[in-house]
Structure 1
Amino acid sequence: MMKTAKKTGAKDANAASPSRMIDGRITELGDWRGAMLSRIRGLISEAAPDVVEEWKWRGVPVWEHHGIICTGETYKDVVKLTFAKGAALEDPAGLFNSGLDGNVRRAIDIREGETINEKALKALIRAAVGLNASKAKKKPAKRST
């Protein structure tokens, strides 16, 4: 089961959870993009059971574990899975096919009718979680002065 970041404050009490907002986006799309986003979401959950779902930047599903793992944007012709630190990840299966010139992010563009190598995607997700966790451990504790 996916975790949702906890929100506090009276304003957030009536707001839908990020997971419900992602559910709504999948339903709203109602086509292959919704089905693909749902499948990707399931694979992320299988690969990283402690993942936290967020809803950021006015409507982008985000999956986090010690930082952003990836985002799931939907466009007219593509579902784009962008890995926040993709340039630092090994991609032996060659899943990354977009944003290859960037120094930080890498993306996987999935078009209608395409299938995704689920085993390789889950390995990539686990690698992103591992990278985030290693960076989180290296941060020095803040000193109070």
Structure 2
Amino acid sequence: MERSGVEESKSPSELIDGRIAELGDWRGEMLGRLRALIKEADPDVTEEWKWRGVPVWEDAGMICTGETYKAVVKLTFAKGAALPDPSGLFNSSLEGNTRRAIDFREGEEIDAEALKALVRAAAALNKLKAKR
């Protein structure tokens, strides 16, 4: 991955810290909370910084990305279509055959246990595919 300037000297985790701080509003708080839940669900998760500014969480492959927009913070699960979602968290990018996303809006509650279950399922799927 190519990085330039200040980004070159910072780790992906530091860059994600910076993104959360620079947002300075509900989106930063939401991204920070989602990040904490991802790390709770999978202590082995690694953080990456891709595509010129997108936080990415990986464990034996990509689990999800965390994108911030004006009205939503979007967690996109790379293999979301293959994951069980009994709580119905996926509410975006439902038309594709591979990815699924969750759009979080200002003031929305996070179903922490359901989200952690999705993260664990995504990591397990990555590890299963890596063994094959």
TM-score (norm 1): 0.86
Q: Secondary structure of the equivalent of 1:107?
A: strand
Q: Does 1:24 align with 2:4?
A: no
User: Which residue type is aligned with residue 67 of structure 2?
Assistant: E
Unaligned runs of 5+ in 2: none
> How far, CA to CA, are the matches of 2:109 and 2:66 in structure 1?
16
State the percentage of identical aligned residues.
72
> How far, CA to CA, are the matches of 1:137 and 1:38 in structure 2?
32
- 1:48-127 → structure 2 map (5 Å cutoff): 48-127=42-121
> How far, CA to CA, are the matches of 1:102 and 1:113 in structure 2?
28
- 1:126-145 → structure 2 map (5 Å cutoff): 126-138=120-132
How large is the RMSD of aligned CA atoms in angstroms?
1.3
Unaligned runs of 5+ in 1: 1-6, 139-145
Instruction: Name the larger-Rg structure.
Output: 1
TM-score (norm 2): 0.94
> How far, CA to CA, are the matches of 2:110 and 2:76 in structure 1?
14
> How far, CA to CA, are the matches of 1:58 and 1:77 in structure 2?
20
Moved over 4 A (4+): none
